Structure 1
Amino acid sequence: MMKYNTGSGDLTNWIVEEAAFTPKFQGKCEAIFCQGNGYMGVRCATEESYTNQVRNTFVAGTFNKFDEYDVTELPNAADVTALDIWIDGDLFSLDKGSFTNYSRTLNLKTGEVVRSFEWTNRAGKTFAFAFRRFMSLADLHTMALHVSITPLNESAQIEIQSGINGQVSNSGAQHFHEGEKRIFDKQHLQMLQQTTQSKITFVHNATHSVVAGNETVGSRFAMDRRKVYMIYKADVQASQTLTLEKISNVYTTRDLTHEHLSLDELRSASIADLIASAGRGYNALLAESVAAWAGFWQQTDISINSQRDFDQLAIRFAMYHLRIMTPAHDSRMGVGAKGLSGEGYKGHSFWDTEIFLLPYFTYTFPEIGRSLLEYRYKTLGGAHKKALENGYKGAMYPWESAWMDDGEVTPVWGAADIVTGKSTKIWSGFIEQHITSDVAFGVWQYYQITGDEDFMERYGYEILLDTGIFWASRLEWNDERQRYHINEVIGPDEYKEHVDNDAFTNYTAYWCIENAISYYQKLKAEKPAVFARLNEKLSLDVEIPVLEERLAKLYLPQPTAEGVIPQDDTYLGKQIIDLSKYKAQEHVGSIFHDYSLDQVNQIQVSKQASVVMLMYLLEHKFGPEIKRANYNYYEPKTLHDSSLSLSTHAVLANDLGDTTLAYELFRRASEIDLGPGMKTSDHGVHAASLGGIWQIVVCGFGGVRMVGGKLRITPSLPEQIDAIQYPIYWQGNRLNVSVSKQDVSIVNETKKSAITLIVKDNEYTFTDELTVHL
């Protein structure tokens, strides 16, 4: 059972609580209470073990292939969170006896998880337990655990076994060779692991301090296969407390900051850091991390004055996870679709990054936004390889990306077909090609919002030109129609496979080619040195005339008499059925209880926003009536079976004046992970949806949009929300925006330059502060 009103005073709307523990629902809080710092993430399994528990420790960027038949994934590294606790010789578990006053809380403000309860064993002895843990935001390698156990009515013998456990796997796939295990000074544990294929060495360290009453508890150490641990045993009197502090760290040979060190040097440095951290202790390390979190929240916190306090908690929950999942420290890595909270999607990056996550960072932490796009530049090698393998030119980005050099890593086979019983082929890695446009859009959007010319000269112009070259080579000439088509693709609506002229794909491909031509002309006229370098690298003088010739003949699906743009060549001719049963579903994908994917392919039903997404991203290309007609046509046919879908529809509903529906979609999006449903997040949080929640608040209710290179702030608050306040960056200026039902006030906190923007169709220019009555 989840509770959302636990926090009070300075912690109001900062605390998420699990108020009851049920073993069959462990996955929920394991994922949403995940802790991390972008370098690594640890799934929040309870310290004691239960059946179906999933322990995950991921270090960003450390991909490995289980074998030649599998695709690369983030390996599940050794665990340091598990404790075997023995009470009078019996292994502790909550289901052995009874417990009261159970509470586990995630403090979004500090990143600390606290769990407490009173437990009575079968012999009638009662104990108070308290567990605390955090991942440091101040020291990316460090995590800490604090445990206290107090016998309340009788003395007891308490034994704790704790260490480094490499016996974990990725759902059975073991990614590590067994490595060397050592203990230093009879106290500090170290274990090495090396990935089997990518040959990355992990160095795990842990140390303990255990006190019973005022006495230090003695220990002995032990080793097992893939495991090294300490054993502490003490007789603890009633009302005495046994306290354990465990400080751990993880380093790898892939770390950018340590790649100059030999393995021996890395081992020595990591142990020295461990000893120094242990000397400071849990509370001092926590204070350092809390200070780092305070800096984060000072830059990003959003205030929502809503009739439902949950809304304020939800936006903070989203931003907490956006921070802990994102490798801000290293531009060689992207963001996984499940962040670092679970094994879902194997840690791979999708279009989720550029379309759903990147806007948050571009507007709020532009330096992190730049880092995420530098990752896409560093994966150009894989994009070129994929283009060549498919007979194309330029940069054809993989649908799923992992390490920089991996190229396409989408699995080939998925779940069983309900009709045939055979595994379904996953076509996305072959024909879901709009990812190339999405990456280009992310680059362009970042540039328009930040004005970062250095990024463009180093990376951005090349991506925009290279992707335009790809799309021109991808076009297929239709001799009968005397125009270019794009055939055999999957658009954003993944319930329609092998379609021709998917509207989202064609329009964004057109936009990419158009952009490439425009920036070619700009560079040639204004930046001769940059142009000369890229011309030599990409043969622009040869390729761009081809783009110009083909652009004029690229087919763009046109609106019907009712203003509806066909999603693809056949969508509007497919069967229409009553979708009300599936629109009201409790669990996504319920249509597949009745239909196979091939059958769904023949119905006018969409998994997620497709044409509606096009209206959102390229709205400067479409008039308001076209936008409205397509929203009204496609939303009733969209099941929102992807967590990416709700946010786009919410923003568009708000734009079109349906704030009631916009708020309902916001509520549903904000409850995907955080809400009361206890089976929504077993495989990890929905990263893109969390970015979408921020977009609903800031781009929807807050009215922020970059349209054709210009800033527009035209807010529209639903009835349930009285006011919001949020920060954004525009062209290097930090703006603090306050929105009420009556007006919008914008303060330029940095005053780097004058700001020109549009509010409700009127253009304003200001330097310090602007207030517009709505």
Structure 2
Amino acid sequence: MKDYFKVDEWKIIEEGFDPHYNKVAESVLSLGNGRMGQRANFEDAYSGENLQGNYVAGVYYPDKTRVGWWKNGYPEYFAKVLNAANWIGIDVWIGEEQLDLAKCEVISFRRELNMKEGYLKRSFHAKTAAGKEVAVEAIRFCSMVDDECGAIKYSIIPVNFTGEITITPFIDGDIANKDSNYDEKFWDEVHKNTADDISSIQLRTKKTGFEVLTAMKCVLLQGDASVDYRSTPILKEKYVATEIKVEAKQGEVVTLIKYATNLSSQNYKAEDMAVRATELLATISAKGFDIMLAEQAAAWAEKWKNNDIIIEGDAKAQQGIRFNIFQLNQTYTGEDDRLNIGPKGFTGEKYGGSTYWDTEAYCVPFYLATAEQKVARNLLLYRYKQLGKAIENAKLLGFKDGAALYPMVTMDGTECHNEWEITFEEIHRNGAIAFAIYNYVRYTGDEAYLDDYGLEVLIAISRFWSQRITWSADRQQYVMLGVTGPNEYENNVNNNWYSSTIAVWCMKYTLEVIDKVKASDNAKYDALATKIAFNETIESGRFADIIAKMYFPQDEKLGIYLQQDGYLDKEQLLVTDLPATERPLVQKWSWDRILRSVFIKQADVLQGLYFFEEDYDLETIRRNYDFYEPRTVHESSLSPCVHAILAAKLGDVERAYQFYLRTSRLDIDDYNNDTEDGCHITSMAGTWMSVVEGFGGMRVKDGMLSFNPLLPEEWGALSFQIGFRGSLLNIRIAKEGTTVKNLSDTAITVILKGASQFVEAKNEVFVKA
């Protein structure tokens, strides 16, 4: 599988069709625009193995989960982004035979994702059972300009015959999610229509009551000329179509252009959506496909102008980073603070499409540096607006007085993950949300966010930690019992170092922010304290006492922090001791065997050392890295990037490079044998971090950007752009040295390899290697 896709710096190319890899290709070649998206399913029929996927952002269903037993505090459902109506469908019949590549002889096949211009192109030459040959080319995209719309140009040429071809564009709402707990279909039909030249279907989700209207308008061309056509409308349950019969001539192209729109009741009144869909279809069809495609290319050119990372001399590395940046920009645009970033984005259903701690820990840095400030701010506001639900979640578990536990998995702020070892115990997620506030403020300098929103969240989180932590009379210290750290291959452990570390940090930061807000606007602080009944003397005193007396497990002989109590009691095997046939462990071992093993799913202690690196000297980081990395199987997509960044910090450029390749090509090369379920969107932000924070060595220190670059031997040069507090910088790292170019109208001072550098507006500085 490793080399299934061709290496190209701007494209992902599938040359030749292998049905065994079709679902992987459907994931990797997915499209989206922040509002809607879909997997790279065929427009024409395919009866072989595939995973249909069309998604509309923010629309979900509370699918009641199956569990054998129930406990107090368990959520009642798992929220899922739904597979919405299939708008891309175009059935084709060659005489009496349906065009279906699972039943045809595929003479040639090519599918390519053009990341530079934002479209998917598929071409093939096939022979039916009756010997009729057709050549097909299909181009489609989800518009970044008209972000509720998509368009398809589907062209077919009869290669060795003249005769009737039936083309039936359709919208199919009779779809299902692969992982439905009870094999239930989640949509009810509200209305359908095939009047005039527009077909549409309006569906409503069961329970949640979201409505989505999907509509299409088609244009037919023979040769280069648009032709009027007669069509037969088809209406079935949750299905509308238009059947068009064409007398096709050998060698002459027949083209169907299909314009489509998906509208959600999140943005429109349900009764207004049909009129709005008609208006949108009129607008985009008046532009025409070619103009829409040109607008798409221009919109992507604007994104790439600020987002692109250029790696010279290593095409696989270049393809990998561009793929990750491309998918991130398809998934989230930051225009709507009700939306967030699901781990699979618009590429699959796994993880329900819901919000995890991935957003705060991995995605925020990417959007801080590559997008307007409001984009990252909207990610924080998403959590602020769900604070009430986080307090309710904590209350269900027995916490009180405004303590907040943000959910592990959510759509609207309600916890909807009901594996006890995660729901109740993987509480470090609270810390990631606090860290994102800190990260946002130190990067942007927007301390007003703390006054208006941030402090309220921080106090609620710290209240949770102060109640969750236990005083040990035996140790005469505070301890953290019964938790699951980032390494989910350990459950219900005591004193997970990372969880305890981030809890204490949260309380320290909260106390700092209290002082800042009081100093900047004491009246605002007093109003907040009254609103949330915050007793500063008692509660801040509790925070301070925990900070001073917290227990952290460590081994003085090895000079490392222990992942948790008893970690060294395990048989100390290394990943190199594992036969390749036994990996990935999650697919090959029993859960009992995994839990008893020394093996680590993802960065745990190292996650803490990454977040809080300024608190630890280089040798401490090195000892912990050298101990834990050889025990880490990296079976979470979130793991390689942290290891790449730390390896780069330690000057281990070769290990950093290998981890970079793994994170950047995780889905392209299907490292974990799970890409068919969808791409790992949130970890793609970690790929960006591994380049910019790893090889670029970028940090924010005392309100200034700092760079400590190094370059892998395999690369001729590396360049990227960073937006920072109104400035835009281009950083180019080459073997001879590093250039910082200020593309802005104002001067800026940066730290480069430990020395301050003043960079005048529209000017640059160069520092030798």
Aligned to 1:149: 156
Output the CA distance in 1 between the equivalents of 2:701 and 2:432: 16
**CA displacement 1:63-104 (0-9 Å, x = unmatched):** 212348642211111101122211011111124342333111
Match of 2:284 among 277, 288, 291: 277
Kept in 1: contact 2:200–2:213 (CA 8 A): yes
Equivalent in the alignment of 2:81 = 74
The yes-or-no answer on 1:292 pairing with 2:288 is no
Percent identical: 30
Q: Deviations over 1:326-355 (max 9, x none)?
A: 152211121101111100100111111111
- How many angstroms apart in 2 are the aligned matches of 1:265 and 1:483? 62
In structure 1, the residue matched to 2:620 is: 626
On the 8 A contact 2:426/2:483 being kept in 1, the answer is yes
Write the mapping of 1:385-404 to structure 2, written as runs, cut at 5 A.
385-393=392-400, 394-404=402-412
1:31 equivalent in alignment to 2:27: yes
Deviations 1:450-476 (A, max 9, x none): 112343332223222322222122211
- Conserved 8 A contact 1:746-1:771: yes
Aligned residue number for residue 416 of structure 1: none
Distance 2:292 2:577 in 1: 52
Q: Which residue pairs with 2:250 in the alignment?
A: 238
For residue 344 of structure 1, what is the aligned residue in structure 2? Answer: 350
Q: Which residue of structure 1 aligns with residue 73 of structure 2?
A: none
| Structure 2 contact 706–750 (Cα < 8 Å) conserved | no
Look up the match of 2:754. 761
**In the aligned structure 2, how far is the partner of 1:460 from the partner of 1:468?**
12
2:153 aligned counterpart, secondary structure = strand
Amino acid at match of 2:410: A
Q: Give the corresponding residue for 1:56.
A: 53
Q: 1:765 to 1:240 in 2, by over 3 A?
A: closer
Which of residues 163, 170, 175 in structure 1 aligns to 2:177? 170
In the alignment, what sits opposite 2:485? 491
Q: CA separation in 1, counterparts of 2:271 and 2:336?
A: 23
Q: Taking structure 2 as the reference length, what is the TM-score of the superposition? A: 0.93
Matches within 5 A, 1:444-523: 444-523=438-517
Aligned to 1:423: none
- Choose the corresponding residue for 2:218, options 178, 193, 208: 208
State how far apart, in whole Å, the 1-side matches of 2:22 and 2:349 are.
15
Select which of 298, 301, 313 maps to 2:319.
313
Structure 1 position 525 matched with structure 2 position 519: yes
User: Does residue 1:125 correspond to 2:137, yes or no?
Assistant: no
- Separation of aligned partners in 1, 2:359 and 2:237: 39
Q: CA deviation at 1:109?
A: 1.0
Cα offset, 1:430, TM superposition: 1.3
1:207 is displaced (CA, Å) by 1.0
Q: Distance in 1 between matches of 2:747 and 2:448?
A: 18
Letter of the 2:768 partner, please give it: H
Match of 2:72 in 1: none
Partner of 2:552: 556
CA distance in 1 between partners of 2:195 and 2:290 (Å): 24
Q: Which runs of structure 2 are paired with 1:592-611 in the superposition (5 Å)?
A: 593-594=588-589, 596-611=590-605
Within the candidate set 260, 283, 289, 1:248 is matched to: 260
Inter-CA distance 694–467: structure 2 relative to 1 (3 Å threshold): same
CA distance in 1: counterparts of 2:665 and 2:741, whole angstroms: 32
Sort the Cα spacing of 1:578 and 1:754 in 2 relative to 1 into closer, same or farther, 3 A: closer
Structure 2 match to 1:330: 336
Deviation at 1:482, TM superposition (A): 1.4
In the aligned structure 2, how far is the partner of 1:537 from the partner of 1:772? 52
Residue 64 of structure 1 aligns to a residue in which SS? Answer: strand
Q: What SS is found at the alignment partner of 1:184?
A: coil
Alignment check: 8 A CA contact 1:380 1:395 kept:
no
CA distance in 2, matches of 1:4, 1:773: 38
Q: Deviations over 1:707-740 (max 9, x none)?
A: 5765321011111112111111223322211111
The answer for the alignment partner of 1:770 in structure 2 is 765
CA contact (8 A) 2:48 2:102 kept: no
SS in 2 for 1:206: strand
Structure 2 unaligned regions, length at least 5: 66-75
Kept after mapping to 1: 8 A contact 2:468/2:480: yes
Indicate the residue corresponding to 1:589 in structure 2: 584
| Structure-2 change in CA distance of 1:364 and 1:586 (3 Å) | farther
Distance 1:148 1:396 in 2: 55
2:697 alignment counterpart: 703
1:113 aligns with 2:158: no
Deviations 1:367-408 (A, max 9, x none): 31111111111121221112212222445343433333x411
The change in CA–CA distance for 1:67 and 1:567 in structure 2 (over 3 A counts) is: closer
In the alignment, the residues of structure 1 paired with residue 508 and residue 747 of structure 2 have an alpha-carbon distance, to the nearest angstrom, of: 30
Q: Secondary structure at the match of 1:601?
A: helix
Separation (CA, whole Å) in 1 of partners of 2:703 and 2:389 = 30
- The one-letter code matched in structure 2 to 1:17 is I
Partners of 1:206 and 1:720 in 2: CA distance: 48
Give distance in 2, aligned partners of 1:280 and 1:632: 58
| 1:156 and 1:235 in contact (8 A); partners too | yes
Which structure 2 residues correspond to residues 731-746 of structure 1 after superposition, within 5 A? 731-746=725-740
The CA distance in 2 between the partners of 1:560 and 1:140, in whole Å, is: 57
Whole-angstrom distance in 1 between the partners of 2:368 and 2:38: 26
What SS class does the counterpart of residue 157 from structure 1 fall into?
Answer: strand
Matched, 1:576 2:572: yes
After TM superposition, the structure 1 stretch with the greater mean CA deviation from structure 2, 555-564 or 360-369, is: 555-564
Q: Is the 8 A contact 1:28 1:679 kept in 2?
A: no
1:45–1:75 CA distance, 2 compared to 1 (3 A): same
- Pair 323,532 (structure 1): closer, same or farther in 2 beyond 3 Å: same
Describe the superposition over 1:147-168 as per-residue Cα deviations: whole angstroms up to 9, x where unpaired: 1111122212111222210111
Query: TM-score of the superposition, structure 1-length normalised?
Result: 0.92
SS of match in other structure, 1:727 = strand
Q: Which residue of structure 1 lines up, in the alignment, with residue 202 of structure 2?
A: 192
CA distance in 2, matches of 1:376, 1:713: 31
Q: Structure 2 CA distance, aligned partners of 1:105 and 1:26?
A: 13
2:366 and 2:685 in contact (8 A); partners too: yes
Name whichever of 59-68 and 334-343 sits farther off: 59-68
Deviation at 1:654, TM superposition (A): 1.5
Q: 1-side partners of 2:64 and 2:594: how far apart?
A: 34
Calculate the aligned-residue CA RMSD, in Å: 2.1
Q: Would the alpha carbon gap of residues 556 and 91 (structure 1) be closer, same or farther in structure 2, given more than 3 Å must change?
A: same
Retained in 1: the 8 A contact 2:504–2:546? no
| Whole-angstrom distance in 2 between the partners of 1:756 and 1:6 | 36
CA contact (8 A) 2:451 2:517 kept: no
Deviation by residue 1:668-713 (Cα, 9 ceiling, x = unmatched): 2222111276954111101132111111111111111235765321
Query: 2: distance between equivalents of 1:91 and 1:195?
Result: 32
Query: Which runs of structure 1 show a deviation greater than 6 angstroms over 4 or more consecutive aligned residues?
Result: none
Partner of 1:638: 632
1:355 is paired with a residue of what secondary structure?
helix
Per the alignment, in what secondary structure is the counterpart of residue 343 of structure 2? coil
CA distance in 1, matches of 2:650, 2:672: 33
Question: 3-state SS of the aligned residue for 1:682?
Answer: helix
